Structure 1
Amino acid sequence: MTYSVAVAGASGYAGGEVLRLLAGHPDFEVRTVTASSNAGRPLSELQPHLRSLAHLTLQDTTPDILRGHEVVVLALPHGASGALTDELGDDAVVVDCGADHRLADRAAWEAFYGGPYHEPWTYGVPELPTGDGKLRERLDGATRIAAPGCNASAVSLAIAPGIASGLIDEEIVAVLAVGPSGAGKSLKVPYLASELLGSANPYAVGGSHRHIPEIQQNLRLAGAHNPTVSFTPVLVPMARGILATVTASLKPGVDRALVREAWEQAYEGEPFVQVLPEGQWPRTADVLGANTALIGVTVDEAANRVVALIAVDNLVKGTAGAAVQCLNLALGLPEGRGLTVNGVAP
């Protein structure tokens, strides 16, 4: 069976990556692409690398245009998809790549995003450890899916095994090197090449980043009671990618030999989340274009802290790849269909 697909926000980075993955997926046919200010323009003007979809023209993003498809993927700015999803009805499987349906805590939404609050959907990080298994089980047959925030899923996957196994305290520190494509395609001064090249630029410092409550929500799913997250992202001059260094104190009396075992057991058999051999460390270059998260883990003996490093492509495993992976699970398709673990080098 081939599923008809509409992609809203198809002119942006996340929308373009969704289209790239769907174009190579044997079970999906992209029939409709929409945008806001770019409506009426050929898709090939905005996404010239998507040659197999060059016949499509961007249409207005309205419920009427999106209805009638079996799958709808929303790659819209935060705050833009919630009102739209209320009008789509129940006929399609809908994946939201924005934040509108991620948070279960209304107060957290109001504090970090603001605007109308919309109910949470099934959250889309299949490999995330939970108290009763993995989030994967909740995605089977889901019709409303919230794709994760790229930084949030990276930090959560990096440290969740320590929470789930009871080895670490709940005070988490995360520092991330992030490519600017995660901020979207809109023209803003901090993302200009002249501002980024030759520089590393921190932003959203001091607990203000919008992905913090999402990380805390994920850690609660993994078994935490009241986790805190000190989160510092740093823009670096690479188009895409996240390298997150996530640390936490070991609980008193924990045998350090259990640390590697906990991470390896948590992701045993997971094709898209892989723990590297001891002494090896992930690089963003190794996950470019792949739906893969690579994790390196060790113990800083002097500081008595677990150190977990994770590399992901923010546009693939961080967003579009996670969306397609979740669609596969929701529709009963093989989970890895249309996705690759192989990066692009050099």
Structure 2
Amino acid sequence: MSLRVAVAGASGYAGGELLRLLLNHPEAEIGALTAGTNAGEPLGRLHPHLPELADRLLEPTTADVLGGHDVVFMALPHGSAAQLSRELDDVPLIIDCGADYRLTDEAAWTEFYGSDHAGTWPYGLPELPGQRDVLRQSRRIALPGCFPTVATLALWPAYRAGLLAPAVDIVAFTGASGAGKTLKPHLLASEVMGSATPYGVAGTHRHTPELEQNLSALAGVPVEVSFTPVLAPMTRGILAVCGAQVLNGVTDGDVREVYTKAAASERFVHLLPPGHWPTTAAVTGSNSAHLQAALDIRRQRLIAIGAIDNLTKGTAGNAVQCMNLVHRFNENTGLTTVGVAP
């Protein structure tokens, strides 16, 4: 039996990516599509790449519209999902693509988001050790942020194996789609093209506590994160460059061994051959994370690099992956490891 699926926030980039994937999911029947200011508009005006849904009208984002579905994906600005989810008790599965339920630390939420903490839902990154068992039993799931997705995957094998000191530097380059569709002068094409711009510098980006939460859980001790995102002149993709001191005695062979073992059983994690480095172009449109790691022998530092498509593995693809786990479908149903080139 097909799942009747609704997408709240269908007019945005994440919502559009969800619909692109769901159209190719054999077990999904697309139900209500909702929006805020775009309610009443035909979807085709906002997502002309989805001709099968072009005539569908966007409805208001209300519990009355979204209730009665088997799955509701919420691709909404932070702060919006918490109230709405409380009104959807009848929905068997809600997957929040936003930030509202990601953090376990109430104080960290208040510091970085400036509002009351809504609570914590199971964390929707299946590749984390033991997390698939948690997600299969879950009916409310909080997706990771796009930056924490790629950086956690890049560092997870090393921290899980105890190879690294509990402090890491992360610089991540992202495409403009990560900021959403809202009109902002600094995201105009004339501002972005031909320029790379850091933002959220010196520990101020909201994904910092989420990165520390993930890596600390993997390491078993608190991990300090210095995170700098950089807006790059591209539409999609994130490239994360992570550096951390290795513990005494760790060799390049040790690094290769733990990364090879970690990636071997993961459908969507691809470890590149030695000397080959991830690129954002190679993962465009796919649910894959491409990884590489090497030891800087002179500095005794691990350099781990990961690339994902921020809209697919970074958001919508991960959401579909979690839905597949909950409903016991093959985990890759409706998803691909194949990118789009050139």
Counterpart residue number, 1:92 = 92
Counterpart residue number, 1:113 = 113
Alignment of 1:201-280 (within 5 A): 201-280=197-276
Q: Does the 8 Å contact 1:127/1:267 carry over to 2?
A: no
CA distance in 2, matches of 1:169, 1:60: 49
Deviations 1:292-319 (A, max 9, x none): 0000110011111000110100000000
Q: Does the 8 Å contact 1:74/1:94 carry over to 2?
A: yes
Q: CA deviation at 1:115?
A: 1.4
CA distance in 1, matches of 2:115, 2:36: 20
Letter in 1 for 2:150: A
CA distance in 2, matches of 1:91, 1:37: 24
CA distance in 2, matches of 1:55, 1:194: 32
Deviations 1:171-223 (A, max 9, x none): 01001111011111100111111111111000000000111111111112213
Deviations 1:57-113 (A, max 9, x none): 100001111001001000000111111101100432100000001011100100111
Counterpart residue number, 2:36 = 36
Q: What is the SS of the residue equivalent to 1:123?
A: coil
Counterpart residue number, 1:53 = 53
Q: Once superposed, what is the RMSD of the aligned Cα atoms?
A: 1.0
1:321 to 317, 324, 331: 317
Q: CA deviation at 1:38?
A: 0.5
1:295 to 273, 291, 315: 291
CA distance in 2, matches of 1:55, 1:140: 35
Q: What is the SS of the residue equivalent to 1:25?
A: coil
Q: Does the 8 Å contact 2:158/2:164 carry over to 1?
A: yes
Letter in 1 for 2:53: L
CA distance in 1, matches of 2:158, 2:88: 40
1:62 is aligned to 2:51: no
Counterpart residue number, 1:177 = 173
Alignment of 1:324-335 (within 5 A): 324-335=320-331
Counterpart residue number, 1:124 = 124
Q: CA deviation at 1:141?
A: 2.9
1:79 is aligned to 2:75: no
Q: What is the SS of the residue equivalent to 2:264?
A: coil
Task: Tell which deviates more after alignment, 51-60 or 93-102.
Answer: 51-60
Q: Does the 8 Å contact 1:167/1:254 carry over to 2?
A: yes
Counterpart residue number, 2:16 = 16
Q: CA deviation at 1:161?
A: 1.1
CA distance in 2, matches of 1:238, 1:173: 23
1:165 is aligned to 2:167: no
Letter in 1 for 2:116: P
Aligned length: 342
Q: CA deviation at 1:116?
A: 2.4
CA distance in 1, matches of 2:241, 2:146: 14
Q: What is the SS of the residue equivalent to 1:231?
A: strand
CA distance in 2, matches of 1:52, 1:79: 31
Question: Unaligned regions of 5+ residues in structure 1, if any?
Answer: none
Q: Does the 8 Å contact 1:173/1:248 carry over to 2?
A: yes
Counterpart residue number, 2:339 = 343
Counterpart residue number, 1:191 = 187
CA distance in 2, matches of 1:20, 1:255: 43
CA distance in 1, matches of 2:123, 2:222: 20
Task: Tell which deviates more after alignment, 88-97 or 70-79.
Answer: 88-97
Q: CA deviation at 1:137?
A: 1.7
CA distance in 2, matches of 1:84, 1:271: 33
Tell me the TM-score normalised to structure 1 length. Answer: 0.97
Letter in 1 for 2:239: L
Q: CA deviation at 1:263?
A: 1.1
| Identity value in percent | 51
Question: Unaligned regions of 5+ residues in structure 2, if any?
Answer: none
Deviations 1:108-134 (A, max 9, x none): 1001112121111111111123xxxx3
Give structure 1 regions of 4+ aligned residues with deviation exceeding 6 angstroms: none
Q: CA deviation at 1:56?
A: 1.4
Tell me the TM-score normalised to structure 2 length. Answer: 0.98
Q: What is the SS of the residue equivalent to 2:215?
A: helix
Q: What is the SS of the residue equivalent to 1:157?
A: helix
Letter in 2 for 1:59: E
CA distance in 2, matches of 1:44, 1:76: 20
CA distance in 2, matches of 1:228, 1:204: 16
